[in-house]
Amino acid sequence: MRASDADRDRVAEILREALAEGRLDAEEHAERIDLVYRAKTMGELEPVVRDLPGAGGGRPQFSPGAYASASGAPLPDQNLVAIFSASTRKGRWRVPARINTVAIFGSVEIDLTEAVFPQQQIRINVTAVFGSVEIRVPENITLRSSGSGILGSFEVETHDAVDGNAPQILVNGCAVLGSVEAKPKRGAWIHDLRHRLRDGRRKGLEGPDRFT
């Protein structure tokens, strides 16, 4: 059976709990989380947590549910992995409904300030182990967090958009001896507005009708 995004998220959460409880060390967690987000079928997911307790203390139970768009098609996702390296996503790009981010002794930068949001709900799953993840979002979004830091820093600046139809971003995951930071990038649009107004006034003063 094909694995869904929900199935992969469920297994990733089991791995995060195992890491926090000391059942896995950082290296084992990194290896398994990489397998999770590469898995295509349920058969590839089950061995990853076979030796770990699930939600009820036993083996995890999987369901075939999947996140889907209004048309019923599975939503795309994107994986950003930095292991002893750096990974960056920025500029003008279409944001998928789900972004899976892993930083192991590395750094990941996600800049959404110029991005296009085809859907309203965005989920960013983050795992930072001796690494860092930095997320920048525009001001006109709602930003939420359900993550935590384990001997590390997990700082998400909660923000509510004025527009109820604005994109909503949930940052979920953990930072183990690492850091995760997510906050709106303020001031950029104000600076641009001031620049445009200043240019407009200058053109008005220099126009041919200024002294007539």
In a domain, 200, yes or no: yes
Which pLDDT score is estimated for 2?
A: 83
Is residue 123 domain-shared with residue 24, that is, in the same domain? no
The residue ranking higher by pLDDT, 71 or 122, is: 122
Tell me, yes or no, whether 58 and 13 share the same domain.
yes
Indicate whether 34 and 134 sit together in one domain. no
pLDDT at site 4: 81
| Shared domain check, 189 and 94 | yes
173 and 106, same structural domain? yes
Asked if residue 87 lies in contact with residue 106, where contact means CB atoms within 8 angstroms, the answer is yes
Residue among 128, 118, 18, 119 at smallest CA distance from 110: 128
Q: Model confidence over 150-174: pLDDT tens digits?
A: 889 999 988 888 887 888 999 999 9
Same domain for 86 and 62 = no
Q: Residue 25 is encoded by which pair of tokens? A: 């060390």
Residues 95 and 55 in one domain: no
Q: Considering only CA atoms, which of 178, 54, 77, 182 is closest in space to residue 127? A: 178
Residue 143 sits in the same domain as residue 105: yes
How many domains does one find in the chain? 2
The residue segments making up the domain with residue 7 are 1-66
Check whether residue 53 and residue 109 sit in a common domain. no
Residue 87 inside a domain? The answer is yes
- Residue 75 in any domain: the answer is no
- Do 91 and 12 lie in one domain? The reply is no
Name 120's Cβ contacts closer than 8 Å, sequence gap at least 6. 165, 166, 167, 168
11-66 pLDDT, tens per residue? 888 888 888 778 888 778 888 888 888 888 888 888 898 888 763 343 344 333 33
Same domain, 54 and 107: no
**pTM across the whole model:** 0.60
Residue 142 pLDDT > 50: yes
Q: Is the pLDDT of residue 83 over 70?
A: yes
HSE-CB of 96 using CA atoms within 13 angstroms? 18
In a shared domain, residues 104 and 137:
yes
